Every structure is written in structure tokens, then in C-alpha cells.
């Protein structure tokens, strides 16, 4: 069964949750869900939020930034999406990347503020830490130095039966990302 480009399978159940504005407009719930479980009471900006159950997700740095900083254009969407996950993992690479970019001129966060955001995320009941236990010799060949870390994260997620969540369109278009990487906000 397909919902907006997502395939339903028993090992990783993906479903669409309609936001409250859709309910108010008379749109129906996806088949097989109850109104109470598929609608979110938080204010909506007219988009659909995908939630995953039974499958773990490794959010990449850009999603951690969206989670952490109100100035990010996807902040509210990301907060809601992460709240609906049954499991997520971070690793040293994504956490360090979040700290680095958060402290850059783009966000100008202090180390303490960025660390507090990571503490908020990693203290969620659904959060786990993933060891970077993959040798770089095990990643797919890449064409550019810009792809090395992204490819490593894709392969790390694949090794641990996770999905890499990203907003990076270039990563999603790469041949080595396969079906492991996805954009949680793509309609």
C-alpha cells in the first residue's frame, strides 16, 4: 500500500497523520487509523506530517538543526515529526555536526545552548546513541569529497537497519543513498 510515496510494509510501518486543519476542512483519516490517533492538536500550517512506527531513524545534521533552532524554516514541522517517532538515534558525527553548525555564524549559539538542545533530544524516551562502528573502507565509492560524511551516515544507517532522515536533496539524489535516505517532509 502506498501513501504519498511511502510504502507500507510490516517491518517498517509508515503512516500519514492528518493535521487538525485537515480535520476541520472535512478531510478523512487514512484507512485503518482512528481519529484520536492520527490527528495532532498542535496548530497546523497546512502540511501533512509523516510518522514512522517500528522503524528507527537516524536524523542527519540538518534535521537536528531544524529540531533545535526556531529560526530554521522547518522547526515546527521537525519538532512535531520527531515527537511522533517510535525511535530515533544520534551518533557522534551528527551530534558534532550539530554543535559545529549551531556555533557558526548561521546560528550563533553558544556551546552550552547547543549542548542543551542535544540534551533535550537525546533525553527523549525514544532516543538512542548509535556507535560509529563502520570502517570507512565499507562505504560506497563517492565522486566528491563533499559526499564522504553523507555516504558514511547512509551506510551506518543501513548497517543498523535504520533510515537516514535528511533535508539534503543532493544526498537524496545520490546513487549510493538508495532507499535508506528519505526526506520526512516531502509530500
Tell me the per-residue pLDDT of 117-126, one tens digit each, with 9 for 90 and over: 999 999 999 9
The Cα-based distances of 165 to 20, 50, 51, 62, 140 in angstroms read 24, 12, 12, 9, 19
Selected residue with higher pLDDT from 33 and 91: 91
pLDDT at 57: 96
Q: Which CATH architecture has domain 55-181?
A: 3-Layer(aba) Sandwich (3.40)
Rg, C-alpha atoms of the chain: 17
Q: For the whole prediction, is pTM greater than 0.85?
A: no
Residue 6's H or E segment, with its range, is strand 6-7
- pLDDT bin (cut points 50, 70, 90) of residue 51 is very low
Domain ranges of the chain: 1-52, 55-181
Helix residue ranges per DSSP H, 72-160: 75-83, 92-102, 111-122, 148-159
Q: What SS3 state is found at 157?
A: helix
pLDDT at 3: 27
Amino acid at each position: 500500500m502506498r501513501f504519498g510515496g511511502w510504502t507500507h510494509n510490516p517491518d517498517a510501518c509508515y503512516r500519514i497523520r492528518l493535521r487538525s486543519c485537515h480535520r476541520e476542512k472535512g478531510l478523512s483519516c487514512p484507512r485503518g487509523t482512528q481519529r484520536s490517533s492520527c490527528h495532532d492538536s498542535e496548530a497546523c500550517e497546512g502540511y501533512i506530517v509523516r510518522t514512522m512506527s517500528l522503524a528507527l531513524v537516524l536524523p542527519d545534521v540538518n534535521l537536528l538543526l531544524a529540531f533545535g533552532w526556531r529560526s530554521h524554516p522547518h522547526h515546527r514541522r521537525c519538532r512535531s515529526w520527531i515527537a511522533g517517532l517510535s525511535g530515533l538515534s544520534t551518533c557522534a558525527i551528527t551530534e558534532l555536526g550539530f554543535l559545529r553548525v549551531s556555533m557558526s555564524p548561521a546560528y550563533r549559539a553558544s556551546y552550552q545552548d547547543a549542548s542543551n538542545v542535544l540534551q533535550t533530544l537525546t533525553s527523549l524516551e525514544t532516543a538512542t546513541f548509535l556507535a560509529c562502528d563502520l570502517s570507512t573502507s565499507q562505504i560506497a565509492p563517492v565522486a566528491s569529497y563533499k559526499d564522504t560524511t553523507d555516504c558514511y551516515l547512509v551506510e551506518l544507517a543501513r548497517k543498523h537497519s535504520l533510515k537516514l532522515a535528511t533535508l539534503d536533496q543532493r544526498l537524496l539524489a545520490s546513487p549510493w543513498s538508495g532507499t535508506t535516505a528519505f526526506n520526512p517532509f516531502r509530500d
